[in-house]
Amino acid sequence: MKVIEKIIELGDGRSITIETGKLAKQADGSVVVKMGKTMLLATVVSAKDAKPDVDFMPLSVDYKEKFSALGRFPGGFMKREGRPSDYEILVSRLVDRALRPLFPEDYHADTFVSINLISADADTMPDALAGLAASAALAVSDIPFLEPISEVRVARVDGEYKINPTRTELEAADLDMIVAATMENIMMVEGEMDEVSEAEMLEAIKIAHEAIKVQCQAQIELTEEVGKTEKREYCHENNDEELRQLIIDKTYDKVLEVARRKNANKHQRAEDFAAVKEEFVAEYSEGKEEEEINMTLIGRYYHDVEKEAVRNMVLEDRLRLDGRQTDEIRPIWSEIDYLPGAHGSAVFTRGETQSLTSVTLGTKLDEKIVDDVLYQGKEKFVLHYNFPPFSTGDARPTRGISRREVGHGNLAFRALKGMIPADSPYAIRVVSDILESNGSSSMATVCAGTLALMDAGIQIKKPVTGIAMGLISTAGAEKYAVLSDILGDEDHLGDMDFKVTGTRDGITATQMDIKVDGLPYEVLAQALEQARQGRLHILDKIGETIEEPREDLKPHAPRIVSIDIPKDMIGAVIGPGGKIIQEIQEVTGAVIVIEEVDGKGVVDISADNKESIDAALARIKGIVAVPEVGEIYKGKVKSIVTFGAFVEVLPGKDGLLHISEIEHRRLQTVDEVLKEGQEIEVKLIDIDAKSGKLKLSRKVLLPKPERKKKEENK
């Protein structure tokens, strides 16, 4: 067994080790990446041949966390890892998006990348190591791969940029991004920020890239040491250059003519492009047998013609498919309060992209419970994104939530979460249903989410909007066009998909995928500035619908009042076996949730009407109130004894009203004046220092009887 290691120093005393040759040796490539106690096992296997008629890269990336990595049992009855968590899906997507562009264009073999967290440290973030592990597994294999990549997390903590910070350090960060890159080029960026500037974001990307270069060099050296500089030979495409040229000659001008029609209707434009292809196929097929016609090659070559024609039109004519200028935003309209039964709702439409978004408010009982390997807790704010097939006119069934929906929803969630007030007592669920899609439905979700939150009366700090940018460029970006508010076609045919969200004061989240080599930072800077202008334009547009959050919630929304109580009074409010709190909820109709936070009890009282809240609030205040000598209380007679009566002056607190303190006159029996259940006013006249027993008086609140005047001149 020959084990080879490479050590990457991070420059602050920490290091990353890449090890190969010990585990999973039957895979095409296998490495273990270690940082402290955290260990990732990454393997890659690729089929020797491609399946027939496959003209794309069938890549599958799966990131999986083992509960045993942190010495934990999985939850549930099975006590076994189940379906991927949202976090695992998001990490898988981060790696996939970085790797996919770097396989050769003509490589179409099924390829599976598996990354497993096999040992963990709760303070080390494994998502920052997953890309390095996957790329290193490819580096030690014979699978064709253009060049190694790596991913790092860059965060700004207390004004300083830090590479791969700990989870604890990340809590204080105002910028948190994962950046993927090769030695020369940025490939992918995703993260969230606290309203940072475009210049600050670019600076963070550059710092991350410098760290990535070191990790890429280590992989190059590792490839040489394991002897995998020569990759496997393959032939996944059988091309017909004569047919390719014929399609170019016969269809290019016609495709360009369709592209220049400035047709804003996606489906009509698609039909017009398809008609050009059908016309060619009909002409080409004349006099040929069916087996002589290779529709797979025709489809591939025609797609290339379509892509080239549209790109050239944009670069040469500065003209887009729907006739817009490069920095022009499609028409926008929006509406709030569209769903009368929801606590907040909005419709946001930009061109042919539309989101119907709702907001639901709940209590702490509605908070999302998270039980991942490295994180356990609750989330007060959640955002869910749904992309049904009808939104693009596709006739197919819906089969669960896709990875894409998880990823797009997460981007919108990160864009908005920083604007939710920290002191909001509500659990908030935002749901975006995409009803139409032709270009960045995730950014439509951000805009619709802002509108719906303001419609619900959530006092968000600032409105947030988002925009998707595109890029079409020549090699080395000698000639390029940055496109604002891209269409679906422009995303597919372009070189960059760059989504930016933010307020008027800065960026809150971003997601960027770059598909070309050698993109200068100057082009990124222009894209960011153009995105800022577009974002401000959209903010003006949604401001025409609603400028600021409603002052109050909808009448049917739950109301929540929060009060703090002493920690040692939590048990008194709950009661033995929950008896007291259940009784309060049953009598008042309110929902009460108590938890200990920072050494005190936080009580949330919720109901859909003020009367229920006030009644529950009075009961709880009564329980936690401390009796004070001299105070007057309206109490209830709980029981009568020979020497007096016990009166409940506060919930769960009884005092003795001695028979001598009931009235000024001498009573033979207590029931001459009082009955059980009777409400009376009493004054607390003393608290026994040793026993804490309460002594009450009624007679001090009654007027003294006048003394009989002595008979004069008796």
Query: Which tokens in the block code for residue 616?
Result: 């529950």
Q: Exposed/middle/buried for 570, CB within 10 Å: 0-12, 13-18, 19+?
A: middle
Nearest to 180 by CA among 286, 91, 97: 97
Is 497 a known ligand-binding residue? yes
- Distance, in Å, from the CA atom of 633 to the CA atom of 653, rounded to the nearest integer, reads 11
Contacts of 468 (CB under 8 A, 6+ apart): 439, 440, 442, 443, 485, 486, 491, 497, 498, 499
- Distance, in Å, from the CA atom of 576 to the CA atom of 580, rounded to the nearest integer, reads 7
- DSSP strands (E only) in 387-456: 427-436
CA angle 239/240/241 to nearest 5° reads 105
Are residues 107 and 236 in contact, defined by beta-carbon separation less than 8 angstroms?
yes
> Is 81 strand, coil or helix?
coil
Contacts of 277 (CB under 8 A, 6+ apart): 251, 298, 299, 302
- DSSP strands (E only) in 353-464: 353-362, 368-371, 376-379, 381-386, 427-436
Nearest to 16 by CA among 37, 33, 41, 40: 33
Query: Which tokens in the block code for residue 541?
Result: 């547009």
**Helices and strands per DSSP (H, E), number in the chain:** 14, 29
Contacts of 494 (CB under 8 A, 6+ apart): 311, 470, 471, 472, 483, 486, 515
Are residues 655 and 695 in contact, defined by beta-carbon separation less than 8 angstroms?
yes
Are residues 636 and 648 in contact, defined by beta-carbon separation less than 8 angstroms?
yes
Residues flagged as binding site for Mg(2+) = 491, 497
> Residues annotated as binding site?
491, 497
